[in-house]
Amino acid sequence: MTFKSRHIVKIYLFLNLILVLLSSKCTKNVSQLPLGIMPVPKDNPMSEEKIALGRELFFDKRLSRTNKISCATCHVPRFAFADRVPISEGVDGGKTMRNAPSLLNVGYQPTYMFDAHIISLEQQVIVPIQEHMEMDMKMGQLIEKLKAIPKYQDQAKKIFGRDFDPYVLTRSISAFERSLISQNSRFDKFMNGNSQVLTKDEIAGYKIFSKKLYCTTCHAYPRFTTYKAENNGLYEDFAEDKGRFRIHNDTNDIGKFKVPSLRNIELTFPYMHDGSLWTLEEVLDHYSSGGKNHPNKHKSVQPFQLSKLERSQLIAFLKTLTDTTYLNDFN
């Protein structure tokens, strides 16, 4: 971890501690963390050393069966820790089931995966490692493999006071992922009182987004997501991937996928759970059409019309949600 990285982490940890102590009224005035206090499990407090170990593991291809796939293969820093293919490629050319989501601000999520069913980041870490089409690594074999690496074993003893095991693996990677903060976009600055940071068209786009259309029903500031699984009418027949339905076999869940945050949306194309829409213009086409007719479609997804100027203003606003300052730590 670089000096700058350690400095950023110290600032984040300090601010998170201060936010816990401050009243909610004061918390709203802390511009560095517009999303508020990040929930951190009691059994996995943040530390520089733990984050540094998690970072090494995140980029280590030895976590996969073939030693060719790492977490960063599908979660690329310059793409807001997403990737730019509809569905990612795992070991031996296998294809993942869904589009890789951004990991920025992932520590704020109450649930994980598109089905919104895994309740902790520590549990989520295990999924891609063991998934046959992704890293395809049996946990027992992986632990023996990583435990035999002196640096990892030494760090496990130093940080956790134990041999390298699944606890060390999941706590380290999830701590690193919680350090991936992106909350300093031009729009954040605008909402914090800098009225000059946005153009007239961008401000007009925000008014269209928040007042003329229904976007804020699922994408309200500051999180730009509800974190809930919803059906946005992408398909009339969801065929093989029926979304959250696979968790409880509840027909009311067919076609429901967790609402993604719009933060850094300019960087995270292609869009939708299956990466089927490549541009923001295509996304607008989908929603302005009112989506496909499906009984579970969210009631707010209704047809609307925008002029050519309004469309360009709306897209201009969405691009103000980009914040690449996190990349200073990954150059």
Domain spanning 3-178, CATH class = mainly alpha
Asked if omega into 110 is within 30° of 0 (cis), the reply is no
The CA-CA-CA angle for residues 16, 266, 72, to 5°, reads 65
Looking at the chain, the domain(s) classified CATH 1.10.760.10 span 3-178, 186-329
Task: Provide the residue-wise pLDDT of the chain in tens; the chain has 331 residues.
Answer: 554 445 555 555 555 544 433 333 333 333 468 999 999 999 999 999 999 999 999 999 999 999 999 999 999 999 999 999 999 999 999 999 999 999 999 999 999 999 999 999 999 999 999 999 999 999 999 999 999 999 999 999 999 999 999 999 999 999 999 999 999 999 999 999 999 999 999 999 999 999 999 999 999 999 999 999 999 999 999 999 999 999 999 999 999 999 999 999 999 999 999 999 999 999 999 999 999 999 999 999 999 999 999 999 999 999 999 999 999 999 7
Angstrom distances, CA of residue 113 to CA of 8, 258, 284: 28, 7, 24
Single pTM value for the model? 0.90
Task: Measure the CA–CA gap between 313 and 331, rounded to whole angstroms.
Answer: 32
Give the helix, strand, coil percentages of the chain, each rounded to 5: 45, 5, 50
Query: 234 near 87, Cβ under 8 Å?
Result: no
**Around 81, how many Cα atoms within 13 Å sit in the side-chain half-sphere?**
23
Report, at the CATH architecture level, how domain 186-329 is classified. Answer: Orthogonal Bundle (1.10)
Residue 112, Cβ neighbours under 10 Å: how many?
A: 21
Structure tokens at 170: 């999941």
Structure tokens at 310: 């309004």
Q: H-type helices in 102-255, by residue range?
A: 121-130, 139-147, 150-160, 166-178, 186-191, 200-207, 245-248
Buried b (16+ CB within 10 A) or exposed e, 293-329: ebebbbeebeeeeeeeebbebbbbbbbbbbbbebeeb
Task: Measure the CA–CA gap between 285 and 69, rounded to whole angstroms.
Answer: 35
The separation between CA 128 and the C-alpha centre of its own chain, rounded to angstroms, equals: 15
